[in-house]
Amino acid sequence: MRLVPKQIETLWTLFTAPVVWAAHFLVCYIGAAIYCAKPELVELSFSAVRAGIAAATVIALSLIALSAWLAWQQWGFGTDDPPHDDPTRRDRTLFQGFATLLLSGLSFIAVIFTALPALFLTECIR
C-alpha cells in the first residue's frame, strides 16, 4: 500500500493547497459565527471553539504539507531550477510541481493568518 497518492496528470492538483485554505477559512468562520449567534445550540464554552479552530488548523496545515511534499516530488525534489520553459513534458511537470509548491507555501501562511485571531480572542464580543 502506498502512503502517499500516486502522481496524477491533471491541472487540478495546482489548486489543492488553496482549496484547503478555503475550506479551513469557511470552517473557522462559519463555526465561530454559528457559535456566537446560537450559543444555546451546544453547551460549550468559547474555549471549545478555539480548540476546534486549533484542530482544524492542524488538519489543514498537515494537508497542505502533504500537498507541498507531493509538489516537491513532482518538482523532482529541486534537482532542476526554474524557469522550466522547455517544450517538453518533463519541464511542464516540473513547472506544475514548482508552482504547486509555491502555492502550498502561500496557503500555509494564509492558514496560520486565519488561525491567529483564535489565539487572542476569548469571547464573542461584538
Partner 1 sequence: MSAAVKERSREEYKAQEERLRAVWANPAGWRYWTSVNNYQIGLWYGSAAFAFMLFAGALALLMRLQLAVPDNDFLSADFFNQAFTLHGTVMMFLFAVPIFEAVAIFLLPPMLGAREMPFPRLGAFSFWSFLLGGIFVCGSIFFNAAPSAGWFMYPPLATDKEFSGIGADIWLLGLSFIEVASIAAAVELIVGIMKCRAPGMRINLMPLFAWYLLIVAGMILFAFPPLIAGDLLFEMERMFDWPFFDAARGGDPLLWQHLFWIFGHPEVYIIFLPAIALMAMIVPTFSQRPIVGYSWIVLAAVGTGFLSFGLWVHHMFATGLPQISLAFFSAASEAVAIPTGVQIFVFIATMLAGRVIFSTPMLFGTGGLAIFVIGGLTGVMVALAPFDWQAHDTYFVVAHLHYVLIGGMLFPVVAGLYYYYPLIDAKKLSDLLGRLAFWLMFCGFNIAFFPMHLSGLRGMPRRVFTYPAEIGWDWLNLISTAGAFIFAAGVLVVVFDVIRPKHRQPRGEFNPWNAGTLEWISEPEENWGVRSIPIVRSRYPLWDQRDLARKVNEGRYYLPDAEEGWREGLVTSVLDAEPIQVLRVGGTSHVTIVSALSLGAAFIALTFHWWIATALASIICFCAVIYWLWTGTGEIPEKPDKDVGLGLSLPLYASGSDSVGWWAMFITMVGDGTAFASLVFGYFFYWTIHADFTAGIAGPDAVWSLIAASLFAAAWGLMVAARTVNRRGTTATMRGLLVLSLLTTVAASAAGLAAPLSPGMDPTRHVYPAIVWILVIWVLAHAALGTVMQAYCLARSLAGRLTPNHDMDLGNVVLYWHFLLIAAVITFAIIGLFPAAM
Alpha-carbon distances of 19 from 56, 59, 76, rounded to whole Å: 14, 13, 23
**Of the candidates 2, 4, 11, 79, which one interacts with partner 1 according to CB under 8 A?**
11
Distance from C-alpha of 49 to C-alpha of 121, rounded to nearest angstrom: 11
Is residue 114 close enough to count as binding partner 1 by CB under 8 A? yes
Q: Footprint of partner 1 on residues 47-106 (CB under 8 A)?
A: 49, 82-85, 87, 89, 91-92, 94-96, 98-99, 102-103, 106
Whose cell is 518533463? That residue is 90
Stretch that binds partner 1, among 8-16, 55-63, 65-73 (CB under 8 A): 8-16
**Are 68 and 61 spatial neighbours (Cβ–Cβ below 8 Å)?**
no
* Residue 1 or 44 with smaller CB distance to partner 1: 44
